[in-house]
A and B are shown apart, each in its own frame.
Chain A
Amino acid sequence: MSLIAFAVTELAPGDGFGQARLERQLSPAAVDALRSRAGLDRPFLARYASWVASVAHGDLGRSIAYGAPIAPLVARRALNSLLLVSASLAVTWILVLPLGVWMAARDRSADGRLLAAGATALIAVPDLLIAIALLLVAAASGVLPTGGVRGAGLADAGRLAAIGDLMRHLVLPVSALTLIAAPPLARHVRASMLDALRAPYLLAAAARGIPYRRLLWRSALRAAANPLVSLFGLSFAALFSASMIVEVVMSWPGLGPMLLDAVRSRDEPLVLAGVMLSTVLLLVGNGCADVLLRAVDPRIAA
């Protein structure tokens, strides 16, 4: 994986010093000196080898545009992204489970159908537009902050105030991500619940007089849980991808805007680090989902 990412950034014409080359004050020789200091004049495989070696030591190299070591730069961004994605993941699933179950339970009636139709319509609206629409609404109402992670002048405020401020800044991006991720998930919860409800043993249980509510939340939900847990892993991936759009639109300082800037300024080490890190985060997320699936369904052995 890392080899492909490295090769891809390698293929790019030009490098982070293209801009420097245009500066009059810098002689071509000086630019070449800068390049060789960054190691850009060495052959491809040699650079790949040294890059892998340094990553193994926890050193991601130096960003060309920022002129600073990448690791702390990226770590802060990744934490911000992770905070946003995990908060959205929690909100989405807390919302989606009862909603999906309710939609399945009321499948024969108008309100359940209406909600399902609404979810379908929301799926069709592009992620980008959902984020923009929320941003416009928030900007017009002026209640919520429309960008960043923390407000100004909080340096001397207490810890509680800082947390409250962070929460306020989270509301907008989290609700955007929830609106993006929840509708398809709710549909899947509904479908898998409908499947579970169709099982003959539930009819038998109902015939024995077990209350419907208990059937719904105990038996059927447990039967439906298996596909839902694998969905959980997928939803992490989808949220992670969608969070990039939301981060850029709502100026949330996560990995997304950083990677975008890096691509624009041809900051290859930074692009590389960003892509690698997002892949690792995603793999970790999928691994967690696997572990969870095994915990829920012991039949799936290692």
Chain B
Amino acid sequence: MTPTIRTAMGVGAVYAIVLGAALLSPYDPATQHRDRPLAPPARVHVVDRDGRVHLRPFVYADDESGPTYPVRFFAHEVDEDGSIGSRRLLAVDPPAHIFLAGTDELGRDQFSRLLYGGRISLGAGVLAGALALTIGLLLGCVAGFFGGWIDAAVMAASDLFMALPWLYLLLAIRAALPLDVSPGRALASVVIVIGIAGWARPARLIRSVVLSARTRDYVTAAAASGASRARLMVAHVLPEAFSVALTQASILVPQYTLAEITLSFFGLGVGEPTPSWGTMINAMLRQELSAAHWWLAAPAAALVVVSLLYHAAADALHQRSQVLPAGAWR
């Protein structure tokens, strides 16, 4: 297995997990278990107090005493009041709970929030990356292909965007968008903010690729045999730019995932009760700074793992293509 495939599979697995949040998470991310705030992670047992081995893993209700509650797989979630919920990978009967990563200060299941929050954070990264690349591909192609004043204008604009400190730019654009909106619109606005702030770099890169592609012999040959400018661009120049765009995506998507997390850490992203890794990390800091509630650091740990994976994937892609200049600092 090549490194590219291996790392791509790792990243794919993370996306599969967060996309499957509805099935994989034991609870709804917004459900508040008011009687169990800041509960530590549940201990799933196989051997009970009397030393008997259970084939089916089980949990205890409150303290490690009382009857055992077997973990049911692919079962319907049952609420405290006895109502039947949706189908989950893991479920236990009330009054026991299965909080795999503990609960936050409102008694919400951290593990479920981690999965749903990952959906927001990682999803925003992908969407914003797609947006920035689309704008960059469009403007870069147009600038590189037509040259002249169009090129000058696009490059001047990209200079302007790159001259600003990235986070300050992000905040400035965020200031233009409404603060209190529904989660869907908030996510859309975050994606738009990041996409707009980030188009300049891919546009420059793609412009340079288009510029060099234009002078290739096969493009000249196609032009000589009467291909229209549109045909030249779409059929001959664009494919070359596309491979660069893909490598660029492996750099941009992690960066934009972080941008979403930073924005929501600042309280400018998708608001509560919708979880995002940024708001969860913020909540971790709001609790007293101590090791007593270590499970609140779960989003940070998840973020480190995902970042390392992203980095490995980008590295592998970079090694493979070597199209990018090695010195593109950040």
Contacts and interface: CB of A to CB of B under 8 A. Distances in A.
Contacts of B174: 263
B42 to A, nearest CB: 25
A8 B168 contact: no
Nearest to B330: A238
B172 A9 contact: yes
Contact of A264 (B173, B261, B267): B267
A278 interface: yes
Interface in A203-244: 227, 231, 234-235, 237-238, 240-242, 244
Secondary structure call for the A interface: helix
Interface in B258-283: 258, 261-262, 265-268, 281
Contacts of A71: none
Nearest to B314: A124
Could you say which interface size class chain B belongs to? 35 or more
B330 to A, nearest CB: 6
Contacts of A248: 266
Contact of A278 (B165, B179, B326): B165
A184 B330 contact: yes
B68 interface: no
Contact of A259 (B171, B310, B327): B171
Interface in A273-288: 274-275, 278-279, 282-283, 286
A120 B285 CA distance: 27
Nearest to B162: A237
Interface in A67-107: none
B168 A241 contact: yes
Interface size range on A against B: 35 or more
Interface in A238-263: 238, 240-242, 244-245, 248-249, 255-256, 259-260, 262-263
Interface of B: 160, 163-169, 171-179, 258, 261-262, 265-268, 281, 284-285, 289-291, 300, 303-304, 307-308, 310-311, 326-327, 329-330
24 contacts: A1-B160, A1-B163, A8-B175, A11-B176, A12-B176, A129-B304, A132-B300, A135-B285, A135-B289, A140-B289, A140-B291, A184-B330, A188-B327, A188-B329, A238-B329, A241-B166, A242-B167, A255-B168, A274-B168, A275-B168, A275-B172, A279-B164, A279-B165, A279-B168
